[in-house]
Structure 1
Amino acid sequence: MKYKNLFFDLDDTLWAFSLNARDTFEEVYYKHKLDSYFDSFSHFYTLYQKRNIELWQDYGSGKIDKTELNSKRFLYPLSAVGVSDENLAKQYSEDFFALIPTKSKLMPYAKELLEYLAPRYNLYILSNGFRELQYHKMRSSGIDGYFKKIILSEDIGVLKPWPQIFNFALSTTQSEVGNSLMIGDSWDADITGAHGVGMHQIYYNFAEREEFPFSATYVVKELKDILNLL
Structure 2
Amino acid sequence: MRKKYKHLFFDLDHTLWDFDRNSTESLKEIFSHFSLDLLGLSDPDLFVKSFLKINTALWDSFDRGHIHHSYIRENRFRMVFQELNVACPDDHRDIGEFYLQSLPKKNHLLDGALELLEYVSAQEYGIHIITNGFNEIQAKKIASSGIGHFFKNVVTFETANAKKPDSKIFEYAIQLARADKTDSLMIGDNWVADILGAKRAGLDAVYYNPAGLKFDETPTYDIRKLEELKLIL
The TM tier, using the shorter chain, reads: over 0.9
Distance 1:63 1:204 in 2: 25
Please say if residues 16 and 106 of structure 1, whose CA atoms lie closer than 8 Å, have aligned partners that are also in contact. Answer: yes
Q: Give runs of aligned pairs for residues 109-128 of structure 1, distance below 5 A.
A: 109-119=112-122, 120-128=124-132
Offset of residue 48 of structure 1: 2.3
Alignment of 1:147 onto 2:151: yes
Distance 2:217 2:65 in 1: 26
Unpaired runs of 5+ in structure 2?
none
Most deviating of 36-45 and 109-118: 36-45
Q: Which residue of 2 aligns with 1:9?
A: 11
Alignment of 1:183 onto 2:183: no
* Structure 1 residues 61 and 218, CA gap change in structure 2 (3 angstroms): closer
Please say if residues 20 and 52 of structure 2, whose CA atoms lie closer than 8 Å, have aligned partners that are also in contact. Answer: no
Offset of residue 45 of structure 1: 2.5
- Residue identity over aligned pairs, in percent, reads 34
Correspondence for 1:78 among 75, 81, 103:
81
Offset of residue 190 of structure 1: 0.7
Q: Which residue of 2 aligns with 1:56?
A: 59
Which amino acid is 1:212 matched to?
F
Distance 2:189 2:14 in 1: 7
Q: Which residue of 2 aligns with 1:27?
A: 29
Offset of residue 88 of structure 1: 1.7
Offset of residue 55 of structure 1: 2.3
Q: Which residue of 1 aligns with 2:101?
A: 98
Please say if residues 113 and 226 of structure 2, whose CA atoms lie closer than 8 Å, have aligned partners that are also in contact. Answer: yes
Distance 1:43 1:121 in 2: 42
Q: C-alpha deviations, 1:169-201, integer Å up to 9, x for none?
A: 111221110100001111111111111111011
Distance 1:128 1:48 in 2: 19
Distance 2:225 2:86 in 1: 42
Corresponding residue SS for 1:57? helix
Please say if residues 78 and 89 of structure 1, whose CA atoms lie closer than 8 Å, have aligned partners that are also in contact. Answer: no
Q: Which residue of 2 aligns with 1:212?
A: 215
Distance 2:86 2:19 in 1: 29
* Structure 1 residues 228 and 58, CA gap change in structure 2 (3 angstroms): closer
Aligned residues: 228
Q: Which residue of 2 aligns with 1:169?
A: 173
Distance 2:222 2:61 in 1: 28
Most deviating of 31-40 and 48-57: 48-57
Distance 1:55 1:12 in 2: 15
Distance 2:76 2:191 in 1: 23
Corresponding residue SS for 2:91? helix
Please say if residues 128 and 153 of structure 1, whose CA atoms lie closer than 8 Å, have aligned partners that are also in contact. Answer: yes
Which amino acid is 1:38 matched to?
L
Distance 1:105 1:12 in 2: 11
